[in-house]
Amino acid sequence: MRPQQQTPFEGPFMVLLCALTLVVAEGLAVQAGGQVASLLFGGHHFIPGGVGAGTGIFLRLWRHPADPALAWSPVDRPSLPGPLAMWASLLVPQLVLVGLVVLAFRLVRHVQSAAGNQHGGPAKASRAHVERTMGRRAVERHTTALYGKDAAATREPLALGVDVATGARLFAKSEDYILAVGVPRVGKGEGFVIPAVLRHKGPAVVTATRHDTYMDTATVRAKVGPVYVFDPQGLVPKAEKLRWNPVKGCEVPQKAILRARGFAGFAGVGPAVDGGGAYWEQVAASIIRSYLHAAALEGLGVEQLLDWSRRPAAREPVRILSRHPGAARGWDEDLAASAEVEPRHRDSIWATVRRAFDCFADPMVLEATRVDHDTFDPGEFLNENGTIYLMGSPGAQHSVAPIVAALIEDVVDTSRHQAARSQTRRLESGLVLMLDECANIAPLGDLPKLAAELGGLGITTAVILQSVASARNIWGEAGERALRDLANITLVWGGQKDVAFLEEISRLAGEHDELVETVTQNELGKSSSWTPRRMPVLPIGDIANLAPNHAVVVSPHLRPRIAYLPSWRKDKILSALVGQGQNSLIGGISDGE
């Protein structure tokens, strides 16, 4: 059998030491009680004694509950009062003793935690330490510091499950960027996304490739604010669909630039391609921004953009940009100059522009983005604590995804402006971006950069991926690295097979001493010895084979730890909330207790 690793201050020795200390301390306390009794109620003089005498009195005391004075020596007894005054006098030093013990415990815990913090958190953090770092109260204190007391009362911290080692409930701060990685069907939706959306009280953007998140959360979210569903492919047949015109807002040049960059990024010449690709993307982006700007100034729609993208020599956008008083200066000349380059170059540029608009080839997407159908205002959505579900099938990377990415960018841009106007310079309403199946449905070109920026605006971002390789496909190696490095919290469910990724998490968890048995056999028989060996706290095999509904939580101030994230169906309050859609329950949403 493997022996338990114990310090000299654990086990039977510690019990013996505690018992001895208790007897000596009680001896002193009883002695003090006797002095108090004599001075206040008895002979009014000191009783001679010492630690040894006090210990004897303490051990005899329990034989004389009716008259405690009998525990003292016959010489001292005449100086002591009756039973009531005796017990009252003995109680006072007992209370002092209890107070001292509590104080000593607190001091030891404080010293231990301070020592642990100097080394990046104790290897075996106590429940109190975990709660001080990631507990509900710690997160609420942080929210109060940023937004004031009222905000902390109306916000619900984002739950990250229960810490298996200590039983503490873990929460993310409102400005955290969370990266969640788990293979299909491992419980990312049931254990993390859906409960977070159900408990959230402010505006939320939720992306999904299946209808389950919408089906489980929409009725509850409808009690918080308006629910919008952008679902050109009809994944949720009965929901009322949101229509959004991507040209709207582009009369502002900055918005046109931002949106054009987003569309150009989907032209198939993203960061994964060489420098030449990036050049075509840049040139295409400058043409697309002029088209978007011109169309917005004239109140035209996507169909007009498509028409111009088919005719590089079209004069209409140039005319609008040169005549309209609100047009950005010089964009007309830029657009005209782009059309006058040598034909071979021009064909390549416009081919990229057309590819960027490929998403509108899908008639359902075109229908959802027509100018006369626009029903969505990001400002209203934020002010009214709305929920927007952005849906598209996993294969919709080239049809729905560019619009979804542009729509999210629009919401983020509006949030940025609202944050700039607010007193705290942050979005007061606490937007959550729950980007489930992010690589498939919401591959925002500059997500790695955005992830770093959004926390500062008061936006909580969760990027949910099935594997880190899926991020590499979209954002390239540097982008994927940035997405991982910038995460305040990383959640990893079992089943991951990227050994380098698992190794990294295992290393972050550090090492500890483990006793390893060495068995030797000779003519005298078998003998064994135990030697300490440095072993990883979380071996990669353990991370890859986590129990169902468990994930490793990597956070900045605690060593990586395992959390239990059960399905929201196991939470009675959440199940009732979903089942009945009861308005009254929203104020008292539980955190799974």
Ligand X SMILES: Nc1ncnc2c1ncn2[C@@H]1O[C@H](COP(=O)(O)OP(=O)(O)OP(=O)(O)O)[C@@H](O)[C@H]1O
Q: Distances from the Cα of 452 to the Cαs of 67, 206, 449, in angstroms?
A: 73, 19, 5
What's the min distance (Å) between Cβ of 188 and ligand X? 4
Q: Which is nearer to ligand X, 69 or 186 (CB)?
A: 186
Distance CA 256, CA 322 (A): 16
Tokens encoding 195: 């409960």
What's the min distance (Å) between Cβ of 492 and ligand X? 12
Distance of CA 480 to the CA centre of its chain: 18
Distance CA 354, CA 228 (A): 29
Distance CA 485, CA 479 (A): 10
10 Å Cβ neighbour count for 459?
28
Binding pattern for the stretch 327-366 against ligand X, x by CB under 6 A and - elsewhere: ----------------------------------------
Binding pattern for the stretch 37-56 against ligand X, x by CB under 6 A and - elsewhere: --------------------
What's the min distance (Å) between Cβ of 194 and Mg ion? 9
Q: Which is nearer to Mg ion, 211 or 484 (CB)?
A: 211
Q: Which does 184 bind (CB under 5 to 8 A by kind): Mg ion, ligand X, none?
A: ligand X
Residue 490 interacting with ligand X (CB under 6 A): no
Give residues 208-227 in contact with ligand X (rule: CB under 6 A).
212
10 Å Cβ neighbour count for 169?
20
Number of separate helices (H) and strands (E) present in the chain: 24, 13
Q: Distances from the Cα of 431 to the Cαs of 195, 457, 462, 484, in angstroms?
A: 16, 9, 11, 22
Binding pattern for the stretch 170-189 against ligand X, x by CB under 6 A and - elsewhere: ------------x-xxxxxx
Give residues 546-575 in contact with ligand X (rule: CB under 6 A).
567
Do residues 30 and 68 touch, judged by C-beta distance below 8 A?
no
Provide the sign of the torsion angle of the four alpha carbons 95, 96, 97, 98, taken in this order: positive
Give residues 112-151 in contact with ligand X (rule: CB under 6 A).
none
Give residues 178-217 in contact with Mg ion (rule: CB under 5 A).
188-189
Residue 466 interacting with ligand X (CB under 6 A): yes
Provide the sign of the torsion angle of the four alpha carbons 574, 576, 577, 579, taken in this order: positive
Q: Which is nearer to ligand X, 182 or 592 (CB)?
A: 182
Q: Which is nearer to Mg ion, 188 or 561 (CB)?
A: 188
What's the min distance (Å) between Cβ of 389 and ligand X? 14
Binding pattern for the stretch 377-416 against ligand X, x by CB under 6 A and - elsewhere: ----------------------------------------
Q: Which does 185 bind (CB under 5 to 8 A by kind): Mg ion, ligand X, none?
A: ligand X
Residue 262 interacting with ligand X (CB under 6 A): no
Count residues contacting ligand X (CB under 6 A)?
11
Nearest to 551 by CA among 37, 224, 180: 180
DSSP result, 322-373: HH-TTSPTTHHHHHHHHHTS-HHHHHHHHHHHHHHTGGGGSHHHHHHT-GGG
Question: What is the contact surface with ligand X in residues (CB under 6 A)?
Answer: 182, 184-190, 212, 466, 567
Which positions touch Mg ion (CB under 5 A)?
A: 188-189
